[in-house]
Amino acid sequence: MSDQAIVEKLKAKFSTAVLDVVEHRGETTVTVAKEPIVEICTFLRDDCGYNLLTDLCGVDYLGKAPRFMVVYNLYNIATKQRLRIKVPVEEQNAVVDTVSTVWGTANWHERECWDLMGISFNGHPDQRRILMPADWEGHPLRKDYPLQGPGREPYQGRLS
Amino acid sequence: MAVKSETMIINMGPQHPSTHGVLQLILELDGEIVVKATPHIGFLHRGTEKLSEYRTYHQIIPLTDRLDYLAPMSNNLGYVLAVEKLLGITDKIPKRAEQIRVILTELTRLKSHLVWLACHALDIGAMTVFLYCFREREEITDIYEKVSGARMTSNYFRVGGLSEDLPDGLDAEIRKFAESMPGHVETYEGLLTGNKIWQLRTQGVGHISAEAAIDIGITGPALRASGVDWDLRRDNPYSGYEDYDFEVPVREEGDTFARYKCRLDEMRQSSRIILQALDKLKPGPILADCPKVCLPPKKSVVDTIEGLIHHFKIVSEGFSPEPGEIYQGIEAPKGELGYYLVSDGSPMPVRMKVRPPSFVNLQGLPQMVEGKLLADVIAVIGTLDIVLGEIDR
């Protein structure tokens, strides 16, 4: 099944939840609303064959609304196809439902996303910091977190 | 008097020699049986992804060397392929550059697997294999040094091609090594495969089914040993892998012995791919004809003012891919290595996410060791082939 066919299938099932579909360099990215994310992921796994969650991460678009995106890179081992799902997340309510019930691998990816980006996962079985020390304050991958560490002026970059 | 039974918590690592770096495991033991295993990672976190957001695309290549430091060229390859895809210049890479990339990443696979086999066998108690493997690994590091000037942190690939061509006569040396490798693999097999102690320590140990492995995200040889016939080099080819004739070793058992056999067979296939690539190698350009991305030839920089300006612009400003996002996965020695890049049209990425195979494979460790013997934990850490540099990034 082509990417378009899968997007059509997804639209037919979740018509209001599909917010945007972008194709860039031959890769399809579908932006969906965050509320039905667990149902969408379960549907993609069971009915579209995306049995492997290759990667999950957060992206900080500081200055834009909504500020964050949670990105799910999916793979179908049978048809060797990729699909990317994105979920917009507001800064004030940076919470998304966990998909660790859909793919077990999401557990650590979501812990990392919480640790570095400060996006919380509702219903996560074990939401602790994973890379930073347990008593660390702040979330280092956020764009307003200084590159050189807490309490330092933001790095201006060698280009400016 | 009633026998009192309670579990004991022991701390394994982060300074334990068999944890292959700074991995800490909190093990809850009931006698010799592991009740619960909790990995703690992050001791080697260097903020590679954060640093990448403040560097131009070319400046990130040396950071990727330091992710999986046992397979630096594979990291470089994944990254440059991702940037080339983001720029839309994937089909402009010269054939010679692609072939040299394949030769070197397959040598890297051998290098990584040699360290895996050496340490895995040493952990289980077979010291000789360690010395044999490091003898062959030394030859690969010598090739690395001749190619890039460094034995580990190569920084050799560039967006659009390579930093330099291969030195004269090196192809003959690589050919000699690749031809000798299957014989060496036979030697390792002779030391281990039929060895009763090796069989007892690996067969049936650390078993994981195909469904459980996919659910937890395990990729690479560890997944193929559970019976899933999937290799990105064959199924989503990149860098011209579709032109090579090779087999993907798959086994059904899903235990430590099957993973051992799979990796050894992969080493034989890597030698085959290297020899095929050497046969294809013809003189030609090693950098794409993309003046906005690639540095001009050194001669034009030295001889002409235009060349100097061109060089200066690319070094100081970099290049700006059009806004968009891509994901590029490659078959690294340890599994699927992926790079997710987001561009907003500036010369630095908005986000560079690395999908490290070791990070995800390590997540499978608790379910492979819980309910099993403490001694099996050592075998399972070895068989997962983890590198903390890419787990912690």
Residue of A nearest to B346 (CA): A159
B12 close to B25: Cβ distance less than 8 angstroms: yes
**What is the C-alpha R_g of chain A?**
17
Closest-CA distance of chain B to residue A157, Å: 6
CA distance B168 to B171: 8
Residue of B nearest to A131 (CA): B42
B255 close to B223: Cβ distance less than 8 angstroms: no
A75 close to A54: Cβ distance less than 8 angstroms: yes
Q: What's the mean per-residue pLDDT of chain A?
A: 87
Q: State residue B331 phi and psi, 5-degree precision.
A: -85, 90
For residue B351, which of A116, A157, A34, A96 has the smallest C-alpha distance? A116
Provide the whole-model pTM.
0.90
CA distance B100 to B278: 8
Closest-CA distance of chain A to residue B323, Å: 9
Which one of B214, B317, B322 makes the best mutation probe of the A interface by having the most chain A beta carbons within 10 Å? Answer: B214
CA distance B135 to A8: 56
Answer yes or no: do A147 and B54 touch at CB < 8 A.
yes
B338 close to B310: Cβ distance less than 8 angstroms: no
Judging contacts by C-beta atoms under 8 Å, the chain A residues touching residue B215 are 103-105
**Torsion sign, CA atoms B203, B204, B209, B213:** negative
Owner of token pair 């990317």: A84
In chain A, residues 45-104 whose CB comes closer than 8 Å to chain B? 51-55, 57, 59-61, 71, 73, 75, 77, 80, 82, 84, 103-104
Residue of A nearest to B326 (CA): A27
Strands A18-24 and A27-32 turn out to be: antiparallel
DSSP-based three-state secondary structure for B328: strand
Owner of token pair 């081992």: A77
Residue of A nearest to B43 (CA): A131
Judging contacts by C-beta atoms under 8 Å, the chain A residues touching residue B392 are 131
Omega of the bond leading into A66 within 30 degrees of 0 (cis): yes
Please name every residue paired with B283 in a beta bridge, in sequence order, or none if there are none.
Answer: none
Answer yes or no: do A73 and B355 touch at CB < 8 A.
yes
Q: What is the ipTM of this complex?
A: 0.89
CB-based contacts of B169, cutoff 8 Å, min separation 6: none
CA distance B313 to B106: 34
* pLDDT 10s digits, A59-104: 999 888 889 999 999 999 989 999 999 999 998 888 999 999 999 9
Answer yes or no: do A108 and B45 touch at CB < 8 A.
no
CA distance A133 to A136: 5
CA distance B20 to B118: 12
Kindly state the greatest CA–CA separation across chain B.
94
Judging contacts by C-beta atoms under 8 Å, the chain B residues touching residue A103 are 215, 217
Closest-CA distance of chain B to residue A42, Å: 13
Exposure of B48 in the CB half-sphere (CA atoms within 13 A): 26
| Pure H helices in B149-286 | 170-192, 196-202, 210-216, 221-224, 232-235, 256-280
Task: Count chain A–chain B contacts defined by CB atoms under 8 A.
Answer: 101
Judging contacts by C-beta atoms under 8 Å, the chain A residues touching residue B228 are 77
For residue B368, which of B200, B218, B251, B227 has the smallest C-alpha distance? B218
**pLDDT per residue as tens, chain B (393 positions):** 566 778 888 888 787 766 677 888 899 998 888 999 999 998 889 889 999 998 899 899 999 988 888 899 999 999 999 999 999 898 889 999 999 999 999 999 999 999 999 989 988 888 889 999 999 999 999 999 999 888 888 889 999 889 888 998 898 999 999 999 999 999 999 989 988 989 998 988 888 999 999 999 999 999 999 999 999 999 999 988 989 999 999 999 889 999 999 999 999 999 999 999 999 988 988 888 888 888 888 888 899 998 899 899 888 888 889 999 999 999 999 999 999 999 998 899 999 999 999 999 999 999 999 888 988 898 898 898 888 888 988
